[in-house]
A = this chain, B = another copy of it.
Amino acid sequence: MDKRRQIPDISDSAVPLVSEVLVLDEAGRQKTISIPGERPLTVYVDKQELVTLMTIGGAPEALVLGYLKNQRFVKSLDEILSIQVDWDVESAAVVTRDGIKELKQRQEKRTVTTGCGQGTIFGDILTDLNDIALNNEARLDQETLISIVDKVRQHKSIYKQAGSVHGCALFRGAEMIMFVEDVGRHNAVDAIAGRMWLEAISGEDLVFYTTGRLTSEMVIKGAQMGIPFLLSRSGVTQMGLDMARRVGLTLFGRCSGEHFLLFSGEHRFQPS
């Protein structure tokens, strides 16, 4: 990592992600099962309340950073001096270098979206899609695709332990370089975006995998991260597909075992 980059001063406040509860099954038997946590995390930017995110709490600092980035509140990492999460008061205190312009006004124009998860985008993200140029030289072959799906399946996850979460993963070729789960799929993708930013990882040759459905907002976020490949275990909505075609993103849905459907961006795919 380039030592000259300005990295914000961030806390490291991950919390236990699952808890055990006692339930009754259909035969009236008591069982102890694991369920995922869900905690409110109120984000204050320069002491001004911005939003409350509901999160499992596995990567709260990266989540806050990715949220600010994906909602276009900040455009450059060096605008942020620090992010300090304190679960005792369920809050994340963000300090910026110069403040965020028109914070209140930008909060007002909102889109409440179909996503699983935070589901809110601000301002004119849709119209900004035209500025995105995804890497057209990147290629993904069928063998690597199958291998990625298999690696996610085998990965030790909260989902396997407790269910009720969505997972996102980032791959370079068949190598998993990040894996984040959260109660909402938007939080998981935001946390990935935050970590990519902190670690100065470019998305131009990466593959993004999500367990969630590819609605418009998920596709937009993938494109904003500069990632040319988007894979999902689930399906895609019409608007998600429209967005993918508009930015020339290569989109695979219904990925399971050796099966998949290629929805758009065929030029980057190399079949076996």
Contacts and interface: CB of A to CB of B under 8 A. Distances in A.
Interface of A: 19, 21, 23-26, 28, 31, 33, 35-40, 49, 51-55, 104, 107-120, 142, 162-164, 182-187, 213-217, 234-241, 253-254, 258-263, 266, 271
A252 to B, nearest CB: 9
A120 B117 contact: no
Contacts of A142: 26
Given A164-B236, A237-B38, A108 B104 contact: yes
Given A24-B262, A114-B182, A237-B38, A215 B119 contact: no
A215 B185 CA distance: 13
Nearest to A239: B38
A35 B118 CA distance: 23
Contacts of A182: 114
Given A259-B25, A261-B23, A40 B111 contact: yes
Assembly of this chain: how many copies? Answer: 2
Contacts of A113: 53-54, 117-119, 184
A54 B217 contact: yes
B49 A238 contact: no
Contacts of A183: 114, 213, 215, 237
A260 B26 contact: yes
Nearest to A216: B38
A5 B223 CA distance: 49
Nearest to A238: B37
Contacts of A35: 235-238, 241
A164 to B, nearest CB: 4
